[in-house]
Structure 1
Amino acid sequence: MRVTHLLPALLAAIPAVSASRGNLGLALGNKNADQSCKATSDYEADFDALKGVTTLVRTYSASDCNTAQNIVPAAKAKGFKVVLGVWPDYDQSFDQDFNALKQYVPGNEDVVTAITVGSEVLYRKGLTAQKLLSRIQQVQQQFPTVTVGTVDSWNKFADGTADPIIQGGVTYFLANGFAYWQDQEIGNASATYFADMSQAKRHIEQIAGANANKIRFGNGETGWPTDGGSDYGAAKAGTKNAEKFYQSGVCGMLAWGIDVFYFEAFDESWKPDSTGDNGQAMDEKHWGLFTADRQPKFNMTCPN
């Protein structure tokens, strides 16, 4: 979706700098480069590499690869916070993740900063908003002292698809936004990214009404493929472009006061090629801020 014509009105409402800077987090996979599941020691090595950039990560499933079991003690040992994920699309995956949370969250609330139920499930049409709300509420009831919310594509928050969840009292929303997947050249990428987040945030707050002051809104995923990745139309992969998007888009979003989870921490070299919406083969192995062997790719320091 090209949104350039919306930018002047949207960006005019965005303060240049917020009184409270947003927090940077990273999406973290649960597999090593050889596709083996990460053990606690692997997460500890991840955290040692990441600690100069952030101490906050988010995951996608609590049970797959025993993620909660292995990442929580590593986070405790290394001073990290973790957003644990629940895959609610199927009864089996929801039950397995929910059971893992019941086992590993109690007593570790100092490490588990939030739980997200669903990752673009509305975008994929895997569940209705009402069904997703029911599963979010089930997790909320089990963990009343932990922040529980959901993650979806920005447009599902902006177009009303997620309204039943907002009206159901959920207050934690992470909106994913990729200017790259919107076929945007790097010169327009940050403006598109801000427009996406602005539309999602504004609609959520409008629907929340009197509860708008309780909304905790953030960016669940954004990023840009580096050298070795695939182009997507006008969006050209490359480390220099990824750094440019990070410095202008991500750093700008943080300055606005919005939490950002960058996708992703490390390259996932085990991933098979996929097919994009344009029908072309896509290499998704090179989205990390760090290489698979935990080496930084570019300067991740935001200007003051």
Structure 2
Amino acid sequence: MRLLSSLLASAAVLTSVEAQNGYKGFNYGAFFNNQVPKKQVDFEYEFRAARQLPGTNGQFTSARLYSMVQWQTQNTVIEAIQAAINTQTTLLLGMWASSGQEAFNGEISALKTAIQQYGKAFTDLVVGISVGSEDLYRITPTSIQNGGGPGAQPAELLNYIRQTRDAVRGTALEGKPIGHVDTWTAFVNGSNAAVISELDFLGMDGYPYFQTTMANSIENANRTFYDSLDATVRAAQGKPVWVTETGWPVIGAQQNQAVASAENARIYWEDVSCSLMAKGVNFYYYMLQEAQYGNPSPDFGVKGPGDLMQVPNRFDLSCVRQSFFLV
């Protein structure tokens, strides 16, 4: 009992400090590039590696998940939950919302099970719940043309958000902010305004590298990113905006003026990531390691393939400038 009480107290202090300075973390998928599910030991290893990244002063203590369900199961709780408890990693939970109602039933079931199974050791670490990830973007012509996969219509997403609120009502997760993660272009689309009105926060995904209709060279990346963030804030109906995905690839094809390289990823980190952290924005970088298996292109990982504790950072993660080129 004394150990449990100590863990809960530590979690409360951790989330309080993070909340004041902005949550900082990475995005963590449920499986590796070869489709093998991540196990508890894998999540724990990644969470610990994020805390020990050279140049970051141990600030990356939060994790954004995409699903509550363990990969290749129907409704088993994702093993990242126990890993987060063991490492005292705060959590932006994800509820996958692009596979229809039956799949979302599994998300709801896993969420309820996690609350019952882990209690305060789990719920005290939760900083928010994201219902869906880029579902509104995936129904756009641009995404369909690029083979983006199924998404969810605004009415469907509203239904899922309300189901999530019902699921946490009367539990220790009631009152935790419930939001949705999508591209900035989805949020500024007026047809999605009803979704925004239902949210406690907006999670914005922004990648100047992919904004090929704009001046998207690394020299313009800070302005391109902040233009999209400002547009999201204007569309947010007064709701807080979190940055839930952003990054610059170290490997990949040139996209208009955007060139993938470690040098440019370093510039982007300094000009965008460091400026967001200095502002205290809740911030989840994409991503810690992408190339654990295979050779993804583009590859946004700050670590290359290999042992996370052994391979060096691909670029310097310190924030050395005292002033930032902000718009």
- TM-score by structure 1 length? 0.81
- Asked if 1 retains the 8 angstrom alpha-carbon contact of 2:34 and 2:294, the reply is no
Say which of 129, 138, 162 aligns to 1:137: 162
1:216 is the counterpart of 2:240: yes
Q: CA deviation at 1:34?
A: 4.8
Letter of the aligned partner of 1:162 in structure 2?
Answer: N
Q: In the alignment, what sits opposite 2:30?
A: 30
Q: In the alignment, what sits opposite 2:101?
A: 91
Letter of the aligned partner of 1:300 in structure 2?
Answer: L
Q: In the alignment, what sits opposite 1:5?
A: none
Q: CA deviation at 1:160?
A: 1.9
Tell me how far apart the structure 2 counterparts of residues 95 and 129 of structure 1 sit (CA, whole Å): 18
Q: CA deviation at 1:300?
A: 1.5
Aligned residue pair count? 265
Identify which range, 185-194 or 26-35, moves more after superposition: 26-35
1:173 is the counterpart of 2:202: yes
Flag the 1:232–1:261 CA change in 2: closer, same or farther, 3 A. same
- Asked if 1 retains the 8 angstrom alpha-carbon contact of 2:232 and 2:241, the reply is no
Write the deviation string for residues 235-278 of structure 1: whole angstroms up to 9, x where unpaired: 101011011101111111222332221111212444686xxxxx
- Asked if 2 retains the 8 angstrom alpha-carbon contact of 1:157 and 1:200, the reply is yes
- Asked if 2 retains the 8 angstrom alpha-carbon contact of 1:35 and 1:270, the reply is no
- Asked if 1 retains the 8 angstrom alpha-carbon contact of 2:26 and 2:63, the reply is yes
Letter of the aligned partner of 2:123 in structure 1?
Answer: E
Write the deviation string for residues 6-48 of structure 1: whole angstroms up to 9, x where unpaired: xxxxxxxxxxxxxx64332211122246542111111111112
Q: CA deviation at 1:64?
A: 4.1
Q: In the alignment, what sits opposite 1:79?
A: 88
Q: In the alignment, what sits opposite 2:42?
A: 42
- Asked if 1 retains the 8 angstrom alpha-carbon contact of 2:47 and 2:89, the reply is yes
Which secondary structure does the structure 1 equivalent of 2:258 belong to? coil
Tell me how far apart the structure 2 counterparts of residues 146 and 21 of structure 1 sit (CA, whole Å): 18
Tell me how far apart the structure 2 counterparts of residues 257 and 239 of structure 1 sit (CA, whole Å): 25
Q: In the alignment, what sits opposite 1:277?
A: none
Q: In the alignment, what sits opposite 2:289?
A: 266
- Asked if 1 retains the 8 angstrom alpha-carbon contact of 2:67 and 2:94, the reply is yes
Identify which range, 140-149 or 150-159, moves more after superposition: 140-149
Question: What is the RMSD computed on CA atoms of the aligned residues?
Answer: 2.1
- For structure 2, the residue ranges without an aligned partner over 5 or more in a row are 1-19, 52-57, 140-150, 169-173, 323-327
Q: CA deviation at 1:50?
A: 0.5
Q: In the alignment, what sits opposite 1:157?
A: 187
Tell me how far apart the structure 2 counterparts of residues 202 and 255 of structure 1 sit (CA, whole Å): 21
Q: In the alignment, what sits opposite 1:287?
A: 300
1:110 is the counterpart of 2:139: no
- Asked if 2 retains the 8 angstrom alpha-carbon contact of 1:72 and 1:111, the reply is no
Q: In the alignment, what sits opposite 2:17?
A: none
Tell me how far apart the structure 2 counterparts of residues 299 and 53 of structure 1 sit (CA, whole Å): 15
- Asked if 1 retains the 8 angstrom alpha-carbon contact of 2:67 and 2:78, the reply is no
Q: In the alignment, what sits opposite 2:275?
A: 252
Letter of the aligned partner of 2:84 in structure 1?
Answer: A
- Asked if 1 retains the 8 angstrom alpha-carbon contact of 2:108 and 2:167, the reply is no
Say which of 254, 259, 273 aligns to 1:236: 259
Tell me how far apart the structure 2 counterparts of residues 171 and 271 of structure 1 sit (CA, whole Å): 38
Q: In the alignment, what sits opposite 1:146?
A: 176
Say which of 192, 201, 204 aligns to 2:233: 201
Q: In the alignment, what sits opposite 1:59?
A: 65
Tell me how far apart the structure 1 counterparts of residues 93 and 115 of structure 2 sit (CA, whole Å): 9
Flag the 1:166–1:302 CA change in 2: closer, same or farther, 3 A. same
Q: In the alignment, what sits opposite 1:69?
A: 78
Tell me how far apart the structure 2 counterparts of residues 262 and 147 of structure 1 sit (CA, whole Å): 20
Q: In the alignment, what sits opposite 2:144?
A: none
- Asked if 2 retains the 8 angstrom alpha-carbon contact of 1:185 and 1:235, the reply is yes
- Asked if 2 retains the 8 angstrom alpha-carbon contact of 1:25 and 1:56, the reply is yes
Write the deviation string for residues 193-228 of structure 1: whole angstroms up to 9, x where unpaired: 011001101221xxx3xxx3xx231111111111x3
